[in-house]
Amino acid sequence: MYSFGNLKNNNLAISNDNDWSEITLRATVIASDRIRETATKLIPLFLPVQIFQNAFALRIRILSVEKVNIKITNGAGAPVYLRQYIPSSVDNELRISISGWKYGDYNICFTNSSGVAIAAGEFSIH
């Protein structure tokens, strides 16, 4: 497994469905609707979300007991995926198929039910 802080300058050569790469997320601290501080290095135990990518899908583990909104935008800022995820007691993992998406850079943002950002990250499809 590989971890990248910024995928914009890296190419991923992934050959099959079992080759997952971790996407590093930033946790955000919000005060009065403004981001005060962004942490780029976190201990994985405290991340509210873990996300992995392969050539076909994103695998997301949500470590939250409340609803989480997921928004993925393309490089131009246009939304390509919107979903509200409701955690269950059985499985807190979600897979998003990216096999039909265009090559390029994407941003992913997770917000709680109040709209407060809890994590954000970037990934590329090459």
The residue range of the domain holding 13 is 3-125
Phi, psi values for residue 44, rounded to 5°: -55, -30
Number of domains, the chain: 1
Q: Report CA dihedral (70, 75, 80, 85) to the nearest 10 degrees.
A: -10
What token pair was written down for 18? 């079992």
pLDDT tens, position by position, 4-48: 344 444 444 444 556 778 777 766 544 434 444 455 544 444 567
For the full predicted model, state whether its pTM sits above 0.75: no
Per the CB < 8 A criterion, the answer to whether 50 and 44 are in contact is yes
**In CATH, what number is assigned to the domain containing residue 42?**
2.60.40.3080
What token pair was written down for 36? 């005060």
pLDDT tens, position by position, 103-124: 999 999 999 989 988 889 999 9
Phi, psi values for residue 45, rounded to 5°: -60, -30
SS3 45: helix
CA distance 89 to 100: 31
